[in-house]
Structure formats: structure tokens, C-alpha cells
Structure 1
């Protein structure tokens, strides 16, 4: 299977690209996903080595701020089983987990983030879920041509 590309959103006050870069091994599990569509992408489609645009959302300037990589196959999200966790789900069972996660590894922080405004102005991204009105998924696929267009934009800014 060939490499796939993703965009994963995180609020920087909850978990930022700098937080990922500061982790031991620069790797962290991507927990707390509680949307079935995003869960299915992690569980059924993400593969080790897939590349990720790390996107800061719900902040002053939403933007792609760096690159990460999928560092594990999907596995059950243990936070769903922990009553002390904010992600606890009493309907999730370790024998039949409802929620899954992957590990992500830091690759690079961009010196110049690519803002949502810039992304929306790029005609080659008109099909990218992020730029469509009402898309609130925290994880979304990025087509290879979209991936390349965004990386190319880095070189021109």
C-alpha cells in the first residue's frame, strides 16, 4: 500500500506542535477522538509511515504548522476506559473498544505556518475537506496532489 496523507487538527492550548516536538522520542498517542468517521479513518486506513499535516485550530490564526508521521497502527484508546479521563466513555469496553488511536511522531515545525485563509485561496485545494464550509472533522485525508500543492506553497512564502 502506498503512503497516504492526512491532516490532523489540535487546539494549540490542548496539544501543539511544540508539545509533540518536546515529547520523549518526539512521539505521542493521538487520543480523545470521539467522532466515528475520524475513528474509522485511524482504525481502518492509517498506516505507519503515512504523513500528517499538523494543524492548529480554534486559535487566533488557524494554520498548518508542521509535519508529523503516523508511528503506529491503530489500537484501542485506553482513555475511553478510564473513569478519571475527560475522554471516558462508559459504553466502550476493552473487549469491544469503541474508540481507537494512533501514535504520531514529530517531523518538522514550519517557520512560516500556512494559514486557513491562504489554503482557502488556493484553487487546487477546493476539494480539501478543511476548506469546505461546515467541516469539523479532526482528522481528514489529503489527496497527494493537495499535499504537494501545500508543500509547494511553503517554498513560495
Structure 2
């Protein structure tokens, strides 16, 4: 029997489809059609398994419909919040099927152009696995990615395990290079594992949210701890007694509105 090609060789040649993903959710309250569309790591843990509903971007929809498979691993990411970053881990437990929220006229992300006979939007089910002990913030990842070498990162306290290979994996994350997409691949298991290990080990200075300026609740809800939210308008959360979703607006060569996902709180 011929030897199997190594995973790293297959990944570097681009022969294998991604099996690891990053999925964004919006943890802060936002009311749409009278329903709170937030979805935080607390909500994810409480629900256990949730349909990733409400995505209204065709690229993200295609990923869920065609590429995400049972057993694929997920980084759960807080978006459009003061301290965006990876807060937990999940696993795909049901493959792509039509998103019922698109057919529900009372749902915040109802799409009158989608119909059950020829659905436009698809989703997957994702099951909570664990929180990360130390949230891996976008600010941290960007600080790492901006470094020319590991030697220039001592102040981050990443530990002896973090070397040039790990640095290059972080630099190559789609989150760093094309951050706006709400459902996106992590380029390899190795890159996924580096993010997970960062979340396990910690050691870097705690990054506090920046204080917002302005009055009352509006200032609190719109405060930004990172430039991610200045670049992208993402939203995700929960819906009534249903599940969550996020809506994000992408500005590239052509403006595109994406629903990233959201979920619904009980009660």
C-alpha cells in the first residue's frame, strides 16, 4: 500500500478542502423587529446546539451549504463588540439545509424572495464544545501578525512554544487578511490549533475595552475596542425563542450585505 500524503503537504498544495472554520456572532443586544438578535458565548453554551441561521451573504451561504461537514471544527468569534475575538469552540453536527428563518415573515431576517421550493439561504447546526480559557482577541492576533519575527514579540508573553511557524500561521489567517466574512475558513488544522493553544495558555496582557464617548446607553453599546467594527458592520444574535444570526455589511469593490447570524434567547 502506498504511503499516505502528509496532511501538511496536502494542505500546502491546496489539494484538501478546509475542515476548520471561524464563525462570527454578535454578543451585544440589538433589537430588530422587537427581537434581540444577540448571540454570545453564554447563549451558545446554554443552547448547546444551534442552527446558524440568518446568514444573508452568498459566499458564506455557499460555505455552509457545500463545504461544512459533520465533525468540522469551529472557532466561535464575538464580532461587532468592544473586544472582538475567539471566545469558544464548536463542532458542525448537521450539514447544510434550508434556513427556515428566511421563510418566516416575523423573523428579523425574513427574505420574501426566498421560497421553500427553491431556497436561497442555507445553514448548518453547530454544537458548543467549550469556552477558551483566555479569549484570543482580534487586537492580539493583529499585533502578532504585524510582527516581523518572533523576536519582536517578547512583550506579548506568548511562551517558548510560539515560534516562527506559529507566527506565519497567524499571519495567514483569513481573519487577518479578509476579516469581514462572517463564516470563513481557517486555512489548516495547524493554524486552528495555534489559536486554540493561545486560548489555553494566555500570558499576554489583558486587553480592556476602550471607553466610549457620548451619552448613556448609546455610547456603551457603540463603544469599540478595535478597528474591526469601524471597517465592518456586523451583527448577530438571537431571535425571540428561536436561534441567532448576524448581519454584516461588507465594503469591497462591490458593497455586499451579509447576514452573519443570530440567535434567539429564551424568555
TM-score if structure 2 supplies the norm length?
Answer: 0.55
Contact 1:20–1:28 (Cα < 8 Å) also in 2: yes
The equivalent of 2:104 in structure 1 is: 82
Give, in whole Å, the separation in 1 of the partners of 2:39 and 2:198: 25
Distance 1:107 1:41 in 2: 21
Say which is worse superposed, 32-41 or 144-153, in terms of deviation. Answer: 144-153
In the TM superposition, residue 129 of structure 1 has moved relative to its aligned partner by: 1.6
Point out the more displaced range, 116-125 or 98-107: 116-125
The size of the alignment, in residue pairs, is 154
Give the 4+ runs in structure 1 shifted more than 2 A.
Answer: none
Give the TM-score, by structure 1 length. 0.92
Q: Provide, for residues 69-117 of structure 1, a one-character-per-residue CA deviation record: whole Å limited to 9, x for no partner.
A: 1110111000101111111111101011000011110000112100101
Unaligned runs of 5+ in 2: 1-15, 29-37, 146-166, 203-267
Which ranges in structure 1 are unaligned for 5 or more consecutive residues? none
SS at match of 2:94: coil
SS at match of 1:60: coil
Look up the match of 2:25: 10
Task: Tell me which structure has the larger Cα radius of gyration.
Answer: 2
1:70 corresponds to 2:92: yes
- Tell me the residue number matched to 2:261: none
- Cα deviation for residue 2 of structure 1 reads 8.3
- Counterpart position of 2:253: none
Per-residue Cα deviation, 1:115-152 (whole angstroms, up to 9, x for no partner): 101112143222212112x6311100002221122123
